Amino acid sequence: MSSKTVVNGYKPSTDISLNDLSIIPNGKSCSATTVESSEKILKDVTEVEQESKNCFFSLLSFCIMFGTGFMFSYSINTYLSSQITTIEKVFALSSSKSALLLSANDIGFVATVLFAAHFLHRYHIPRILAVCVFTVGVSGIVLALPKLFISDAPIEDQSIMINTSRSFAANLCVYYNGSETAKLNDSTCNKDSKDDTSPRKASESNILLLVVMGIALVVQGIATAPRQALQTIHVDNNTERSKTGFFVGVLTTFTIFGPFLALIVGGLFNKVPTSLRATSLTPTDPRWVGAWWLGFLVFGGCCILTSFPLFLFPRGSKSERKVNVAKENQNQSACQKLKELPTSALRIFKEPVYTLSCFNNIATLFAVMALGSFGPKYLETQFFLPTWKANIILGLQ
């Protein structure tokens, strides 16, 4: 630490000693209390010097590391949306059932976000966030596990009478009924109606796997709930107010890159066959099934790896640690903290600017979530694009 650093009004240098601190400027020796105070000052100076040399005490390094971890975390949910048509093929799901699967993450988030923000800010925030990133990574790997229990038959032998292809063929039967210029063979339409029960049977046989995926997504939503509140509190408590916006902006930048990364990676993995073996089919074939599970392993593994360095970050600056310890020493029971939650929420919602901002975010998310969840599927069905190309287009957008 340079000699310009001020600690409790002192400008320490490398040759500071107790003898220097125990002498008052007028030449009189100080009392025992003054010596004790001098020792405390020297201890504070040493701690500050150690913190300044340790990269894990840097708030910028925390923002970069945590931002990277949650970029991968946020990518998992977007990657799921990019693979929704493939998952519907594999599990023979309707759009309503796949929408329920996509909403599982939000169910876990909404159910716990208020409690997480109210209770967890008093504790070790970097470690809490590290646990959250690690949990999201594990849930991402769990989302890929159903691949182990699905029959890995050759792709050429798989029936194309699946949810999306069947609905498209049925629409053609209705549209061209009675047309002399382009009419489907009656046997094709009849076959489609006769095979109506096959997807339902497939759905029933895979219901347990879907439940496992739904639970993993709910846990993922719970793990992402503390992120926004705790990261802002940690940054605000450990830097000057004038710099808070900069560090929050760094964290937000990483989050924005999450969907872009997920859609691009999803498009690339959709060009890889699900069995990872060479096949004569092409991604434009209706029977093609891409490696939908591979992205969950990649993003889940990246989350787990980036979570470990977060455990090494300290609780915060020295002054912020003292404030948190003082709050913990109040011996406030969990019931008392829970009773404070409605009062705190009511006090916040009395602020008109905050309330209107919340409604604005809700209205914006209606459009954003609809496009993010079913945007790839819409491009595939309306413009007859392969899954990988639809994901690339949305990612670049």
How many beta carbons lie within 10 A of that of residue 281, not counting itself? 15
**Pseudo-torsion of CA 223, 264, 252, 214, nearest 10°?**
-20
Model confidence over 270-309: pLDDT tens digits? Answer: 899 988 888 888 888 888 888 999 999 999 999 999 999 9
Write down the architecture of domain 56-163+207-332+369-396 according to CATH: Up-down Bundle (1.20)
What whole-number distance in Å separates Cα of residue 144 and Cα of residue 298? 10
Instruction: Sketch the domain layout of the chain as residue ranges.
Output: 1-53, 56-163+207-332+369-396
Model confidence over 55-79: pLDDT tens digits? Answer: 557 889 999 999 999 899 989 989 9
Model confidence over 137-147: pLDDT tens digits? Answer: 999 999 999 99
Q: How far is residue 93 from each of residues 86, 146, 369, measured CA to CA in Å?
A: 10, 15, 20
Model confidence over 331-369: pLDDT tens digits? Answer: 567 787 788 888 888 888 889 998 999 899 888 888 777
What whole-number distance in Å separates Cα of residue 274 and Cα of residue 353? 49
Q: Which residues of 64-83 are buried (b: 16+ CB within 10 A; e: fewer)?
A: ebbbbbbbbbbbbbbbbbbb
